[in-house]
Amino acid sequence: MGLQIEDGTGSGATARVDSENKLRTYSVIESDAQHSNEDNGNAYTMLIYNTSNNPNPSVGETSPCIGYIKNGSDNLLVIEKIKCWAETAEAIEIYINQSGTPTNTTTYNPLNMNLGSGSTADGTFYTGTNIGGISGGNLLDRLRVPADNNNHDYILTPSLIIPKNKIMTIYAYNGGIETEVNIYFYYHT
């Protein structure tokens, strides 16, 4: 008889293998975000809800920046999902690797998704109707939001990982449109 896998409790039960040589298991699957939230109290949400004050940018102008995230933790900040809504059709642009000193900002304190945790998000989080002082970077994605009065979930596969001192910014492409962007993130420990 070959190698046997026993249950480890001393009951003598062994693992079953089917006719295709596959191990039979019953298991619970838990996402990294859920694990971080349950066990570490380190999952958060950042809600950006406003009307950018730069409607219809003309040629040469940039779309208004409405959100800014800079990771201040030694742990990786991981974004798996962004939820968007817009009063009329809009596109939400996600930029990475921008630089500069943000101006025209409102400090935001992300909400902990574990109501029993006293942890707070470690980083710099801003919202605004036209955040200035930042430039460069790379357009990561453009999330197109239809005008259907529904929330739209954008699942990032693979997840967006922001190391310490790296920046992600959020832009309202057209501007002048009431928008809601909810960013769900956690710290990978």
pLDDT in tens, 68-102: 999 999 999 999 999 999 999 999 999 999 999 99
Cβ contact 184:45 at 8 Å: yes
- DSSP element (H, E) containing 94: strand 90-96
Enumerate domains of the chain plus CATH numbers: 32-188 (2.60.120)
pLDDT tens, residue by residue, 100-113? 999 999 999 999 99
Q: Between 132 and 60, whose confidence is greater?
A: 132
- Rounded to an integer, what distance in angstroms lies between the CA atom of residue 76 and that of residue 99? 19
As beta bridge partners, residue 27 has none
Query: What pTM value is reported for the model?
Result: 0.84
3-state SS assignment for residue 6: strand
Please give the pLDDT value at position 60.
46
Name the pLDDT band for 58 (thresholds 50, 70, 90).
very low
Please state the φ and ψ torsions of residue 78, each to the nearest 5 degrees. Answer: -115, 125
| pLDDT for 22 beyond 70 | yes
Please give the pLDDT value at position 159.
94
pLDDT tens, residue by residue, 23-40? 888 788 888 888 888 888
As beta bridge partners, residue 6 has 14
- Rounded to an integer, what distance in angstroms lies between the CA atom of residue 150 and that of residue 88? 11
Please give the pLDDT value at position 61.
53
Name the pLDDT band for 54 (thresholds 50, 70, 90).
low
| Alpha-carbon distances of 12 from 5, 7, 9, 15, 23, rounded to whole Å | 10, 7, 8, 10, 17
| pLDDT for 52 beyond 60 | yes
Q: What is the mean pLDDT of the chain?
A: 89
